[in-house]
Amino acid sequence: MRRPKCDTEMEEIQCEDVTIDRCKGCKGLWFDKGEAESLSERWVAEFIGTGDPDVGAR
C-alpha cells in the first residue's frame, strides 16, 4: 500500500491486536475502519505516532 498523501510505501506496525499502516517517509499513520477507535484509549496511539508535525500540517 502507498500513502495517498505523499505516495510513499507503507509498513505494517503491530500494536497488540491491531495492525496499523505507517508511512516509511513522513511516518504518518493510516487506520482502517475501527482501528483508531480501538486504540483511542491506549497509550500505544501516542507511542507509534512519530510523524513530523510540520510535514503533517502540509
Q: In this predicted model, what pLDDT tens digit does every residue of 20-47 receive, in sequence order?
A: 898 888 888 888 888 877 776 655 556 6
- Percent of the chain surpassing pLDDT 70: 67
What is the arithmetic mean of pLDDT over 3-29? 84
The DSSP code sequence of 1-58 is -B-TTT--BEEEEEETTEEEEEETTT--EE--TTHHHHHTTSTHHHHH----HHHHH-
Q: Which residue has the higher pLDDT, 54 or 9?
A: 9
Domain boundaries, given as residue ranges, for the chain: 10-49
In the predicted structure, residue 50 carries a pLDDT above the cut 90: no
**pTM (global) more than 0.85:** no
Say if residue 13's pLDDT is above 80. Answer: yes
